[in-house]
Structure 1
Amino acid sequence: MPGPAPTGGGAAVPQPPKQGARRGTALERRLAAERHAATLRRLEKASGRLATNAIQRMDETLSWYRRMPPEHRSWIGLVAQAGIAAFTEWFRHPEAPQAMSTDVFGTAPRELTRAVTLRQTVEMIRISIQVVEEAIDELAAPGDEAGLREAVLVYARELAFATAQVYAQAAEARGAWDARLEALVVNSLLSGDADEGALSRAAALGWGSPDQVMVVMGSAPDGDSELVVEAIRRAARRARLHVLTGVLGNRLVVVVGGSMDPMHAARALIGQFAPGPVVVGPTVGDLLSATRSAQAASGALRACGAWPDAPRPVLADDLLPERALAGDQAARRQLVEEIYIPLEEAGSALLETLSVYLEQASSLEGAARMLFVHPNTVRYRLRRVTDVTGYTPSDVRSAFTLRIALALGRLDAPGDRR
């Protein structure tokens, strides 16, 4: 038969709780519930007074609140009342899941997130919580002060998260709208439909009035277009440039302002483009005139395949001959107006000398024999060609541009030139 239970050195045998202990625990729970109910009734009675005190405290301590129009202040008053009412409801059932952002901020219009900054909202919440904390001794039932104080701290934390969520959602919605608006402005510039409305939309996006505006265009990288646009904005901020940008199809289009050096501006942004050509449109004086820069850049991007060795980035004007061959009427006119007509007006000797020189494989002696002049005369006339046009006939690339300009000028009848 087993011996008596050991009295030392062995494991203690658990004993069932005494009946009195169970009754004590139940009594404590009942008393706590009664204190909670009493505190809740006091909160419900004092909620209006607490909201009024919070609004009065804001008016005394927040200068920006006093400067607000009456309509906005009335909305803030409703938010304060909703916040205290939501705390009362939360205190009633703290374990139940609740959409606090809807309870507190649902009474305010969406425009209020533009009128009141996140910092100002935090100041409003801090004052409201302080008003409730200062009244804890009055609001709590005897013995429930610690519980109410803890509840206020937990609710303040939850309200802070709800506030951040409201402003984050507003920022996301505003960002998505701004992106669509920005893409609309860029597309109107590219299509030639830009008007005063485009200027208003650009101003709403924060576009200033830079004196120098150009368009940079290339292939858009794969991936989320929003991330591409944000990367362009970061690069522009580092380079202190104004930009409007958008991904249109497979093209990344950036309207750049605030740079006197187009190539420098393009190099600051080029890392965000996909591999391939990147072209820079001509510099213009304002945003509405950027249509010309955008269309030149678009034509140059299409014609880049005809010049495999083009630099990256490259000016659209450096691709004038390729653009003209691709059917770009603006490029044809520019070549004729900037090269052929000035040479024609400078005298027939320059046109004739340049034509013969190009036909003789850029040989001074060969051109001199064909023209029955001294080679120095040919050399002098070619220097005059450079002075008039800005292109050097002895340079291979310039010679190609001059040859295309001569051909286009001969094809155009004088009466067709504008």
Structure 2
Amino acid sequence: MASRSPHAGEGSRRSGMSSTGRTIVPSDRTRRAMAKRLAARTSTMTTATLAEMTARHSWFRDLSADDRSWISIVARSGIDGFVRWFADDEAEPYSPTDVFDVAPRSMTRKISLHQTVDLVRTTIDVVEEQIQALPRGDRQVLAQAIVHYSREVAFAAAEVYARAAEQRGTWDERLESLVVDAIVRADTDADQLVSRASTLGWRPGSRLCVLVGPFHRPHTLSALRHAGERLGLSVLAAVQSDKVVAVLSGDAVTDDAAALAAAGTLADQLSEGPVVVGPVVSDLVDAPASARAALSGASAALAWPEGPRVLAAVDLLPERALSGDRDAIHWLVEQVYRPLAEATGDLLDTTVSFLDHGCSVEGTGRAMFIHPNTVRYRLKRVQDVSGYSPSAPREAYVLHLAVTLGRLAGVATGSGTSSGSGSSSAGSSHHQG
């Protein structure tokens, strides 16, 4: 950059500032003399400011010694800055924003904007009081000057916090995306996952679920977070390919039913398409299991377009299993087929016969040579044991698929035979019927 005289373009240089000491006292000689007398009292002003801060503000007293030390440096910077601003004898005008540059950026996290305003107000009050100790001719001029300067500092504080909020927002979004990505990928470094989430304000030990929905609209993530806040939910959200993956936690996420209800309220913030909710888990380190189920369900949901828009991942077990989801296959075998296979009372045979005879109680009774009321009793027990009713079409589909998968997996039946060697007894009784 080419050098130029410090006085070149001085009018345009100073036009960017709403006021400086020069605009209040045009005479360089008079202004510098007053600035010199003012500078002689800066140490006294700083000491008085810290004493006043301690007396006025409990939050200041509660800070650590290091944090109070940084605030004293900021206060001293502000007072020294007033002297420089009033003297206005530098090539470039003093910027009140420099007041806050002496402290680390992390202070904007520890000291709120409201507390910073307390600091500025208290400092200005002390300076105004100390001005009264200067010669009478200085007092009115400096009192006017401090009013102008305090306005500049207030704007500077707002600018510093706005810039910090923007930077923090960008960083938080990046960190939030890393947390969600680690959950989706089932990152094994649990300590790092919890540490990153804690930085975002996540509470350890919170029950949570993972929601997956379509992403086609801008501002979806911010709308989802704001809607979650209104419901008292903590929301970590990020975009994965063409889907939104959100981790939900809060008092409204107590169990799977409550989580599904909460997701139904948030669904309006997402684009058109199925929204799938994974099972509720007890902590963030277990979130990958919920994410796997929700992502699998979101991919398989197109096979059940007749279903509701907001679904639990468990509602899509058949579609997930047919698409190759091992967790869904294992769940159907272990939680549906195995209890029926190991139960007494021919529940598995009755289930298969009932499904094969068009869900007819009378047809099943004739095929198994039992009374229809016995069939009804067994069907009620099937629902109690498996959680699914053979009489409901969708649940009958789940049972039918579970039976098929259980037989393919070779799970032993209650009679002690396996479907590998007697495809079996469960199958043979069905065919005999």
Report the TM-score, using the length of structure 2 for normalisation. Answer: 0.80
Alpha-carbon distance in structure 2 between the residues aligned to 1:44 and 1:111: 30
Indicate which of 353, 358, 362 corresponds to 2:355.
Answer: 358
| Unpaired stretches in structure 2, ≥5 consecutive residues | 1-23, 413-417, 420-433
Indicate which of 267, 272, 276 corresponds to 2:269.
Answer: 272
Contact kept? 1:219, 1:275, Cα under 8 Å: yes
The residue number in structure 1 matching 2:240 is 248
Determine helix, strand or coil for the equivalent of 1:288.
Answer: helix
User: How far did 1:152 drift?
Assistant: 1.1
Q: What letter corresponds to residue 234 of structure 1 in structure 2?
A: H
Deviates more, 1:61-70 or 1:336-345: 61-70
Contact kept? 2:294, 2:313, Cα under 8 Å: yes
Indicate which of 226, 234, 240 corresponds to 1:234.
Answer: 226
Q: What letter corresponds to residue 153 of structure 2 in structure 1?
A: L
User: How far did 1:97 drift?
Assistant: 5.2
Alpha-carbon distance in structure 2 between the residues aligned to 1:77 and 1:104: 12
| Unpaired stretches in structure 1, ≥5 consecutive residues | 1-28
1:406 and 1:108, CA in 2 relative to 1: closer, same or farther beyond 3 A?
A: same
Indicate which of 198, 218, 237 corresponds to 2:213.
Answer: 218
Determine helix, strand or coil for the equivalent of 2:261.
Answer: helix
Alpha-carbon distance in structure 2 between the residues aligned to 1:389 and 1:305: 26
Indicate which of 129, 133, 139 corresponds to 2:128.
Answer: 133
Alpha-carbon distance in structure 2 between the residues aligned to 1:161 and 1:211: 40
Q: CA RMSD in A?
A: 2.7
The residue number in structure 1 matching 2:366 is 369
Deviations 1:359-393 (A, max 9, x none): 22222333333333333333332222222112111
Indicate which of 85, 102, 105 corresponds to 1:107.
Answer: 102
Indicate which of 373, 377, 394 corresponds to 2:391.
Answer: 394
User: How far did 1:65 drift?
Assistant: 3.2
Count residues in correspondence. 384
User: How far did 1:335 drift?
Assistant: 0.6
- The percent of aligned pairs where both chains have the same amino acid is 43
Alpha-carbon distance in structure 1 between the residues aligned to 2:212 and 2:295: 7
Q: What letter corresponds to residue 114 of structure 2 in structure 1?
A: R
Alpha-carbon distance in structure 1 between the residues aligned to 2:185 and 2:225: 23
Alpha-carbon distance in structure 1 between the residues aligned to 2:315 and 2:25: 88
User: How far did 1:330 drift?
Assistant: 0.5
Determine helix, strand or coil for the equivalent of 1:377.
Answer: helix
Looking at CA atoms only, which structure, 1 or 2, has the larger radius of gyration? Answer: 1
Report the TM-score, using the length of structure 1 for normalisation. Answer: 0.83
Deviations 1:47-81 (A, max 9, x none): 33333332343344444434433333332222222
Alpha-carbon distance in structure 2 between the residues aligned to 1:310 and 1:154: 66
The residue number in structure 2 matching 1:42 is 37
User: How far did 1:82 drift?
Assistant: 1.6
User: How far did 1:214 drift?
Assistant: 1.5
Say whether residues 1:149 and 2:126 are aligned partners.
Answer: no
Determine helix, strand or coil for the equivalent of 1:381.
Answer: helix
User: How far did 1:197 drift?
Assistant: 2.5
Aligned residue runs from structure 1 range 150-165, under 5 A: 150-165=144-159
Determine helix, strand or coil for the equivalent of 1:135.
Answer: helix
User: How far did 1:289 drift?
Assistant: 1.8
The residue number in structure 1 matching 2:60 is 65
Contact kept? 1:182, 1:245, Cα under 8 Å: yes
